[in-house]
């Protein structure tokens, strides 16, 4: 099984496209700005809960953030 690295540039591009700072996204995730910066540069792998939170925040799919698809539109979500 081949493991591909996380697509770090996707979270950076989504942030920049929305004119947001790393600090603003870090606040959404309840983490420090330098931690978020390390996610964007690939220094740290971001945990599953961060991937899910970013997908929900940006209105995209986890698959898009992970580079499994180029389709940004999320799948229909289950209603709780």
Check residues 40 and 76 and name the one with the higher pLDDT: 40
In the chain, where the domains are located: 8-66
pLDDT in tens, 34-45: 999 999 998 888
Under 8 Å between Cβ of 35 and 43? no
Give the Å distances, CA to CA, from 3 to 12, 31, 36, 61. Answer: 21, 26, 22, 19
The predicted model scores a pTM of 0.84
Q: Any idea which fold 8-66 has?
A: 434 Repressor (Amino-terminal Domain) (1.10.260)
Where does 1-80 show beta strands of DSSP type E? none
- Under DSSP, the state recorded for 80 is -
Tokens of 51: 């991937």
């Amino acid at each position: 099984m081949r493991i591909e690295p996380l697509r770090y540039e996707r979270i950076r591009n989504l942030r920049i496209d929305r004119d947001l700072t790393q600090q603003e996204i870090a606040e959404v995730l309840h983490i420090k700005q330098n931690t978020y910066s390390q996610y964007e540069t690939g220094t740290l792998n971001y945990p599953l809960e961060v991937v899910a939170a970013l997908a929900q925040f940006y209105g995209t799919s986890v698959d898009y953030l992970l580079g499994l698809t180029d389709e940004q539109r999320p799948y229909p979500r289950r209603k709780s």
